[in-house]
Amino acid sequence: MLAKRIIPCLDIKDGRTVKGVNFEQLRDAGDPVELGCRYVTEGADELVFLDITATVEKRKTLAELARKIARHLNIPFTIGGGIRSVTDAGILLDAGADKISVNSAAVRDPALISRLADQFGSQFVVVAVDAKKVNGEWLVHLNGGRVATEHRLLDWVKESENRGAGEILFTSMNNDGTKAGFACDALAAVADQVSIPVIASGGAGSMEHFRDVFTHGKADAGLAASIFHFKEIEIRDLKKYLADQRIPVRL
């Protein structure tokens, strides 16, 4: 069995790492490159950097951030935010990113996933999916969770895979920032729907939550932010706990 991955996520706003609850109430969590370096020494398997305020004007800034990260880190990292074209993605690849993440732009133009996969390979393309349970139905949302769509979660992840996505990063908006646990039922359904790796996001608050997401939730990787940023859980301690639970991790 492949080792399960622990991935800190750094949401970037105006060059700083921020964290909120249910995509709101943002608070400062530090310099993204300094945090990234800390996570390398603490044993993170990968990192995800998401510019939550990315615009056309800021894409140059995002590339500069990618270059700075690549100079200081020796583990794979994914970067996303405002990527709307093969050209945008290529700039980040050239700047040192191992993978790019697309979200709203892919929902608006699903063929973007195919173009990216054709140009760079599926392993470079992570489709991030923000979904919220509304009246018993998991629906995909856009623009940082502000805009609801009619796309059903399971239909969209399957289409993303068919179009060439190499990984799915699924964030439960209901669970995000609550520290009440991942949306394991929904994650298991996503994992059953696709054959590519699934990264779980939203709700991590304890080591037991990671155990549950790797067993009941069937996730390939567990992603979290504030519990790592504010040292509520140390990555090395988490990995030792998971190993004790017979969950394969890289120690």
Task: Indicate which residue of 130, 176, 212, 220 is catalytic.
Answer: 130
5-244 falls under which CATH superfamily?
Aldolase class I (3.20.20.70)
- To the query of whether residue 11 is one of the catalytic residues in this protein, the response is yes
d(CA 85, CA 156): 19
pTM of the model: 0.93
pLDDT tens digits for range 133-190: 999 999 999 876 778 899 999 999 999 999 999 999 999 999 987 899 999 999 999 9
Do the beta carbons of residue 217 and residue 203 sit within 8 Å? no
Query: Where do the domains of the chain lie?
Result: 5-244
Q: Where do the H-state alpha helices sit in 57-206?
A: 59-72, 86-95, 104-108, 111-120, 153-162, 184-193
For this structure, is 118 an active site residue?
A: no
Mean pLDDT is lowest, of 17-26, 85-94, 172-181, for 17-26
Contact by Cβ (8 Å): 159, 110: yes
What is the identity of the amino acid at 194? V
